[in-house]
Chains A and B, each alone.
Chain A
């Protein structure tokens, strides 16, 4: 079989590391970094029948509590909806994980590789949540959106999935086709806090 074409970031044309926006005494309040090469598999089915196969394939369980994450940003499962999850892995190649998940769950559910369909941006810094709050109706206070939580919502009218990795870092997942729009919104909205764009991760 031919090797699949190398994945190209939706932000490749505009991605330019450096420091932008306001000069603040404590340094940039926001840091942005695209997370490239992540493996994302969408999973549909009932937790009770899928969980064992998922644990066999990934080593972790499926979260049952809405809007929570089991595992972490390197390998975990994000709750999307009743009977729907996003499996994230920074360690394993997408085709391999999809195959192993599909084998693990059999005909009880569906595992679909969506890795090339999302742009993922890691937002950090003291003002990370202030930045998101400018365009997102969620309650982003760490009391309401604590580490290990995820939520789907809107930012600037665009559907997004947010994952609170810890108190100061949030991973933002957006459909690839909206990646550039979201990147332009983020970099523009972050200017008031001072913004450092780091080299892409992964």
Chain B
């Protein structure tokens, strides 16, 4: 069990959260012209890094907000937790 610091609610138990995956994945810039290979990579292919990783987490049982967590995949140490930028 990890304690995950929600930017709003503070440290909460992992059971309150849902994992949102790698936060650095970029959607193809021009969806109309992206190849099948680019779409396949965007949808399915993920790195499996050893060490710090930027991830999305969703506080599903709390304030129901997505936010970004920098977590060490080896030690589970949480290095940072920040709200996502506002979409305008």
Contact = CB atoms under 8 A, between A and B. Distances in A.
Interface of A: 66-67, 80-82, 84, 137-138, 151-154, 159
Contact of A66 (B15, B16, B61, B63): B63
B62 A151 contact: yes
A80 B63 contact: yes
Contacts of B16: 137, 153-154
22 contacts: A66-B8, A66-B9, A66-B10, A66-B63, A67-B8, A67-B9, A80-B63, A81-B62, A81-B63, A82-B8, A137-B12, A137-B15, A137-B16, A151-B9, A151-B62, A152-B62, A152-B63, A153-B16, A153-B61, A153-B62, A154-B61, A159-B61
Given A152-B62, A154-B15, 7 more contacts: A67-B8, A81-B62, A82-B8, A137-B16, A153-B61, A153-B62, A154-B16
Interface string B10-34: 1011011000000000000000000
Contacts of B15: 137, 154
Contacts of A66: 8-10, 63
A51 B65 CA distance: 22
A137 B4 CA distance: 12
Nearest to A159: B61
A137 B14 CA distance: 9
A159 B63 CA distance: 11
A150 to B, nearest CB: 11
A58 B63 CA distance: 24
A153 B62 CA distance: 5
3 A-B pairs with least C-beta separation = A137-B13, A81-B63, A66-B8
Contact of A81 (B12, B13, B64): B64
B70 to A, nearest CB: 21
Contacts of A137: 12-13, 15-16
Contacts of A153: 12, 16, 61-62
Contacts of B8: 66-67, 81-82
Contact of B65 (A82, A154, A159): A82
A138 B9 CA distance: 11
A28 B9 CA distance: 33
A81 B65 contact: yes
A135 to B, nearest CB: 11
A140 to B, nearest CB: 12
A67 B15 CA distance: 18
Contacts of B64: 81
Nearest to A158: B61
Interface in B17-75: 61-65
Contacts of B65: 81-82
